[in-house]
Amino acid sequence: MKILYILVLLNLSLYSHSLKIFTTKEADFISVKSYFSASSPCKDCEVVVKGLNGDFTCKTDNKGMAKIPLKINPTNITVNASLGHKNSIQITPYKQEIQKKEYPFWLKILFGLGVIFVFFGALKFLGKK
């Protein structure tokens, strides 16, 4: 029982030093958050990013946060903490979203009014025949 207790304790201490990485996509960048499980952020850690459009290197801030520009299209993010603590994650390359052309509000109103009058005009025309 004592051996089991010691093993669990040792295991927990190892787990507390595991480095976690979380990424979220924001407007024009990918936000990276890295921390150890003891809720301590990975401060000033090196972030190495490999992307389809080039590589990028930066350091995390005091909150363990770093921002990666989306234009490099990252595929792999590695966070390098001191004393051999290192973790990396794979990212699916970002596909360029097809920008839907949004017409101005007033143009849509004019179009709607045009359709109404054309529709009823056609109805009147067909009714005469």
Instruction: Give the interface with other proteins as residue ranges (CB under 8 A).
Output: 108-109, 111-113, 115-117, 119-121, 123-124, 127-128
Q: How far is the CB of 109 from other proteins (least distance, A)?
A: 7
Q: How far is the CB of 15 from other proteins (least distance, A)?
A: 41
Residues 6+ apart with CB under 8 A from 17: 36, 37, 85
Q: How far is the CB of 27 from other proteins (least distance, A)?
A: 23
Q: Residue 124: how many CA atoms within 13 Å on its side-chain side?
A: 6
The residue (of 93 and 121) whose beta carbon lies closer to other proteins is 121
The residue (of 22 and 120) whose beta carbon lies closer to other proteins is 120
Q: What is the 3-state secondary structure (H, E, C) of 61-100?
A: CCCCEEEEEHHHCEEEEEEECCCCCEEEEECCCCCCCCCC
The residue (of 84 and 127) whose beta carbon lies closer to other proteins is 127
Are 33 and 22 in contact, with CB atoms under 8 Å apart?
yes
What H or E segment, with its residue span, contains residue 113?
Answer: helix 105-128
Q: How far is the CB of 101 from other proteins (least distance, A)?
A: 14
The residue (of 7 and 110) whose beta carbon lies closer to other proteins is 110
